[in-house]
Amino acid sequence: MRNKAVFLDRDGTIIKEVDYLKNLEDLELIPGSAEAIGLLNKNSFKVIMATNQSGVARGYYDEHFVQEANKVLAQELEKHKAYIDGIYYCPHHPEVGDKKYKVECDCRKPRIAMFKQASDDFSLDLAGSYTVGDKAADILAGKKAGCKNVLVLTGYGLREKEKLVPDIKPDFVADDLLSAVNWILKDNKQSRDIQL
């Protein structure tokens, strides 16, 4: 039996948006996000973080910094007995950076290479999975991957909500990650009840 997952964006969804996280001291959990991830852990969802990190291509920081920031995030979540099962990031950008990073890649959301890799790594049922993020690119990636999608109004969410058009409309709009997870748990229960 394949696993269900919730794909989470990082900046603006789990941690506060600071317009490119360049200092570890600026990494701060959005209130309720650790509790939300803990609820997913307890309800047998795989928690997958899939994040665009074009700050690498832009020269704001290197991949080592992204990995260090993700370690600090994991430590912060651990304090609340929550954890992320898999972490995937895209360091590329199609228009900026040196030739190593200035590429039209398949991993930068709204493309779905990170979703496909996670699906292979964790034996995921993408149709039974969810995506949560604060940008239209998160929602579009989730739709392309076959997931249900939640836009959170933290980070860039309020601004992005105004830009959404019918073909990338989320299944739900939530105030924050905790509200999103509460909706996901309710929606998943209803889906399960219907299947039974």
Told to judge if 171 belongs to the known catalytic residues of this protein, a careful annotator would answer no
Question: pLDDT tens-digit profile of 59-75?
Answer: 999 999 999 999 999 99
Is residue 50 within 8 Å of residue 14, measured between CB atoms? no
Active site residue 9: yes
Q: Can you give the residue ranges of every domain in the chain?
A: 5-195
Cα distances from 17 to residues 128, 133, 184, in angstroms, run 28, 12, 23
Q: CATH class for domain 5-195?
A: alpha beta
Could you report the per-residue pLDDT of 127-149, keeping only the tens digit for each?
999 999 999 999 999 999 999 99
> What global pTM score does this model have?
0.95
Select which of 9, 134, 138, 176 is catalytic. 9
